[in-house]
Amino acid sequence: MARKYAVIGLGNFGTWVVKSLYELRQETIAIDIDKERVQKIRDFTNNPVLADATKKETLISLGLGDVHAVVISLGDNTSASTLITLYLQEMGVSKILVKAMDEDHGKILRKVGATDIIFPEKDMGIKTAKSLVMPNILDFIEMSEDYQIAEIAPPGSFIGKSLAELALPQRFNIQVIAIKELIPERFSVIPKGEFVIKDSDILVVLGKGVNINKIKLQ
């Protein structure tokens, strides 16, 4: 079911968020004070808005109090992103995601109501480093400081063996929570022990990063 979102700030990051939401068939209000940026995004939203989002009455008039989430991406304009975050929190927006310039800016945003802080450069840097150290990990989702969900291309030693034979929970303290099969194309959630791993499979695992890293040595 489609939900309504708002994106404030249509620089590179904000534009990609709007385009991605459009591809996911979600309704988006795209807001910027720059006319050229608003015009460029028109093909990806039914609600392109040329406005100054630092004015609370503007946010209210656009109905942002009723959207599912708001993404704020205003580059180095930290005062504007902080003020808008405060206004949205006062309006009762339950999910406010804000692109922060640094850790200190992130702390301030948290205190005025941001529910999620985004550090694109930091997050991509961490992901790039992990892809170098753990090249067989295709993607990962941080669950906490220690745990993550990762998509893993199975090592050669896994191919042709069943999950029961591999005994990953016992050997690595890792749980296979799903398997993406490419041939035939299907998605198996909580696969059974007799599932035999193929070289075309992708394992979705849950565990500590240090344990997931050990799999690459197999």
Query: Does residue 134 surpass a pLDDT of 80?
Result: no
Q: To the nearest whole number, what is the mean pLDDT of the chain?
A: 88
Tell me which of 60-69, 121-130, 131-140, 204-213 is least confident. Answer: 131-140
- Distances in whole angstroms, Cα of residue 212 to Cα of each of 121, 134, 177: 24, 9, 13
Farthest-apart Cα atoms in the chain, separation: 62
What CATH superfamily is the domain 4-118? NAD(P)-binding Rossmann-like Domain (3.40.50.720)
Highest-scoring range by mean pLDDT, 6-10, 114-118, 125-129, 141-145: 6-10
Beta strands in the chain (DSSP E): 4-8, 27-32, 47-50, 69-72, 96-99, 116-118, 137-142, 147-152, 175-182, 185-189, 201-208
Query: What's the whole-number mean pLDDT along residues 79-108?
Result: 94
Average pLDDT over residues 199-209: 88
Is pLDDT at 127 greater than 80 in this prediction? no
What residues form DSSP beta bridges with 140?
A: 150
Query: Looking at per-residue confidence, does 216 or 189 come out higher?
Result: 189
Query: For residue 198, is pLDDT > 70?
Result: yes
The yes-or-no verdict on residue 139 having pLDDT over 60 is no
pTM greater than 0.75 (yes/no): no
Task: Please state which of the four CATH numbers 3.20.20.70, 1.10.287.3510, 3.30.70.1450, 3.40.50.720 is assigned to the domain occupying 123-217.
Answer: 3.30.70.1450
How much is the CA Rg of the chain, to the nearest whole Å?
21
**pLDDT over 70 at 10, yes or no:** yes
Q: Which DSSP string do the residues of 180-209 spell out, in sequence order? A: EEETTEEEEES--TTPBP-TTEEEEEEEEH
pLDDT tens-place string over residues 11-21? 999 999 999 89
Residue range 4-16: mean pLDDT, rounded: 94
Look at 207 and 91; give whichever has higher pLDDT.
91
Going by C-alpha positions, the residue among 156, 205, 212, 160 that lies closest to residue 180 is: 205
Cβ–Cβ contacts within 10 Å for residue 190, how many? 9
Spell out the domain ranges in the chain: 4-118, 123-217
